[in-house]
């Protein structure tokens, strides 16, 4: 056990985490020349295109240091804020962390939030200054920032370049020297932490775990504590680039487990694995069921594809247990699903994967968050509102609560004004402002989650010229004055476009929605009124004018009453047409509501 080191790499997006992992694999000889490729651990097409890590990966390396062989387990973590729960479980499986900071960009919001997660779990932090070979690098200044943040000495910071391989040897020796070996008791009952799972279509769910106490044998009967289900360990082994089956995984080591489970929902990240015959008394702390934060409706473009879409969603759920969906129907779009996501990036990725992997073209409705409504009849009974149409009648409402988040934004001091005004416009309340250096400021806000679901991230990048970095964590529900804004097209309410909005912004948003839809809805043979309404009160109206034939073209001269007669006849026809007319709403109209400020 004293030769095992478990560590993870924490960094903000794009600070060179995946590239550093590649260099470590090269240097320890874990990858042959033939298997080498850039971002080796990011194996999904989407990850490679966007340059982000969506699923975390674990890999084992062997390294000879001072004549002794050490086993190094790298437990990779996704960097994006939507996947922070997965990051927290990966960190709980480690004893140390490499804190990677880009020498050109310095410390960003997620560097700090992931660092706090690591410090809460008492990890040994090894600071690494990456990209020192860049012409724009500023190593002395950034080293000072790291020293201020961690309280370490300047010589503890390892200058490195994952691209060229500078400093990799120093990083490996620091991992072995500084990170403590795992502590655990070999003869106690089995206790192992699940930190990830992946779905293999041929073998079922592969569970990645770290043994805390005891050991796990091939063929052993095991139990998952959170779900209470028992299985047989058909195969256990360690994770190199390919899986290496073994007879036993001992205390402190990291491995994979195959039990033939076909449903990814049965394997929960953060759960404890134990022996079925001799279970452990204490579950590993920190387990929680992942709660979706953002909800949206996903509908097939052609209603006949509903069953195909269901099949695609079920297959996706096998791969991604944090996707939640339930069937629903809409008057405007027919049958579809109400889906819960961890955040906007998660929603984008699911939509993209549906299109790529399953050839499904889908319509996504306006994303919204989950509210709690309370009625006057029973003020203690909580009604969960995932869809604006679930909101009880306004006359019987006592109050509505919405989820709030604590947002931390790090930006250059030149952009404090624009960032503050953006956050205040989004109903944010500033709670703290700290100057990390004379140039860089950390701003903390309490904000409603619903406000950042739309276009907040894009606008933040715009007002700060791309310099601001953003991170958030939920802080619970608070009462708010919310109203439901309906959109009526040709007098019919379109449920897919209705939204719950704070009453102060309702008029502006209603007006913008109508203007946007006026541009997007094609002209028909009759006038189409587009209205925004709160309850029975119309707050805004735009009209898409009719295409009209020039019926008076044949009248040259003569009495005015002849022209008027023809125009009146046309007017009656248009009116009758409007009563029976049906308006097709194009796909981009549903998405345009998200970008009202463009």
Question: CB neighbours of 385 closer than 8 A, spacing ≥ 6?
Answer: 370, 371, 372, 373, 391, 400, 500
Query: Any binding-site annotation on 32?
Result: no
Strand-strand pairing, 499-502 and 191-200: unpaired
- What residues does 489 pair with on adjacent strands? 492, 530
C-alpha 291: how far from its chain's center?
A: 12
Distance CA(198)–CA(182), nearest Å, equals 25
* Closest to 296 (Cα-Cα) out of 356, 352, 346: 346
The answer to whether residues 534 and 522 touch, using CB atoms and an 8 Å cutoff, is no
Distance CA(219)–CA(241), nearest Å, equals 24
Query: Any binding-site annotation on 132?
Result: yes
Query: Any binding-site annotation on 131?
Result: yes
Distances (CA, A) of 362 to 225, 308, 386, 480, 573: 38, 11, 20, 33, 36
Distance CA(401)–CA(423), nearest Å, equals 20
Distance CA(210)–CA(213), nearest Å, equals 9
- What residues does 153 pair with on adjacent strands? none
Distance CA(73)–CA(24), nearest Å, equals 11
Query: Any binding-site annotation on 14?
Result: yes
Question: In the block, which residue shows the tokens 């906007």?
Answer: 344
DSSP 388-405: GGGSPPGGGEEEEEEEEE
The radius of gyration of the chain from alpha carbons, rounded to an integer in Å, stands at: 29
Distances (CA, A) of 491 to 194, 488, 499, 575, 584: 53, 5, 17, 13, 14
DSSP 417-468: HHHHHHHHHTT-EEEEEEESSSSEEEEEEEEEHHHHHSSHHHHHHHHTTT--
Tokens for 351, please give them.
């939509």
Residue 580, judged by CB atoms within 10 A of its CB (0-12, 13-18, 19+), counts as exposed
Query: Any binding-site annotation on 18?
Result: yes
Question: CB neighbours of 419 closer than 8 A, spacing ≥ 6?
Answer: 409, 411, 443, 460, 463, 464, 468
The answer to whether residues 292 and 341 touch, using CB atoms and an 8 Å cutoff, is yes
The DSSP letter of residue 387 is S
Tokens for 353, please give them.
């994967």
Phi, psi at 541, each rounded to 5°: -150, 140
Query: Any binding-site annotation on 133?
Result: yes
Question: CB neighbours of 512 closer than 8 A, spacing ≥ 6?
Answer: 596, 597
DSSP 101-126: EETTT---HHHHHHHHHHHHTTPEEE
Query: Any binding-site annotation on 16?
Result: yes
Query: Any binding-site annotation on 412?
Result: no
Binding positions for GTP are 14-19, 130-133
Query: Residues within the annotated binding site?
Result: 14-19, 130-133
């Amino acid at each position: 056990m004293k030769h095992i080191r478990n560590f993870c790499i924490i960094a903000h997006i794009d600070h060179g985490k995946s590239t550093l992992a590649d260099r470590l694999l090269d240097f320890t000889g874990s990858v042959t020349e033939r298997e080498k490729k850039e971002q080796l651990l990011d194996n999904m097409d989407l990850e490679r295109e966007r340059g982000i890590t969506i699923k975390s990966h674990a890999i084992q390396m062997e390294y000879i240091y001072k004549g002794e062989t050490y086993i190094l387990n790298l437990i990779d973590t996704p960097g994006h804020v939507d996947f922070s729960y997965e990051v927290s479980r990966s960190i709980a499986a480690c004893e140390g962390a490499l804190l990677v900071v880009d020498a050109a960009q310095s410390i960003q919001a997620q560097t700090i939030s992931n660092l706090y997660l690591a410090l809460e779990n008492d990890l040994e932090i090894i600071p690494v200054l990456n990209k020192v070979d860049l012409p724009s690098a500023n190593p002395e200044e950034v080293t000072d920032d790291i020293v201020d943040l961690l309280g370490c000495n300047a010589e503890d910071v390892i200058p490195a370049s994952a691209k060229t391989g500078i400093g990799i040897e120093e990083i490996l020796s620091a991992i072995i020297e500084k990170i403590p070996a795992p502590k655990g008791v070999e003869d106690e009952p089995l206790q192992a932490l699940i930190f990830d799972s992946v779905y293999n279509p041929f073998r079922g769910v592969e569970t990645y775990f770290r043994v805390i106490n005891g050991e796990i044998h091939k063929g052993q009967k095991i139990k998952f504590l959170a779900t209470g289900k028992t299985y047989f360990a058909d195969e256990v082994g360690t994770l190199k680039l390919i899986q290496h089956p073994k007879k036993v995984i001992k205390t402190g080591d990291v491995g994979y487990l195959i039990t033939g489970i076909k449903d990814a929902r049965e394997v929960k990240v953060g759960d404890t694995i134990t022996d079925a015959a001799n279970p452990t008394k204490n579950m590993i702390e920190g387990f929680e069921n992942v709660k979706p934060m953002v909800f949206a409706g996903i509908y097939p473009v052609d209603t006949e594809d509903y069953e195909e879409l269901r099949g695609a969603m079920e297959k996706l759920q096998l791969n991604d247990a944090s996707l939640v969906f339930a069937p629903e129907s809409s008057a405007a779009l027919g049958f579809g699903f109400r889906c819960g996501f961890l955040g906007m990036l998660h929603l984008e990725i699911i939509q993209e994967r549906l299109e790529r992997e399953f050839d499904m073209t889908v319509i996504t409705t306006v994303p919204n968050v989950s509210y709690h409504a309370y009625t006057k009849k029973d003020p203690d009974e909580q009604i969960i509102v995932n869809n604006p149409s679930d909101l009880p009648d306004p006359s019987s409402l006592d109050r509505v609560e919405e989820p709030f988040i604590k947002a931390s934004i790090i930006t250059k001091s030149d952009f404090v004004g624009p960032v503050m005004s953006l956050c205040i416009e989004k109903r944010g309340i500033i709670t703290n402002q700290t100057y990390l250096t004379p140039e860089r400021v950390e701003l903390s806000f309490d904000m409603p989650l619903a406000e950042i679901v739309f276009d907040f991230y894009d606008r933040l990048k715009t007002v700060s010229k791309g310099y601001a970095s953003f991170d958030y964590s939920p802080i619970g529900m608070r009462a708010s004055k919310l109203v439901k804004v309906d959109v009526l097209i040709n007098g019919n309410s379109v449920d897919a476009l209705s939204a719950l909005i704070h009453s102060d912004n309702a008029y502006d948003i209603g007006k913008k929605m109508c203007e946007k839809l006026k541009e997007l809805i094609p002209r028909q043979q009759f006038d189409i009124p587009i209205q925004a309404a709160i309850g029975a009160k119309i707050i805004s109206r735009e009209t898409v004018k009719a295409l009209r034939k020039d019926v008076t073209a044949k009248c040259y001269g003569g009495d005015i009453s002849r022209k008027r007669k023809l125009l009146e006849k046309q007017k009656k026809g248009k009116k009758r047409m409007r009563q029976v007319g049906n308006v097709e709403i194009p796909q981009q109209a549903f998405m345009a509501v998200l970008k009202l400020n463009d």
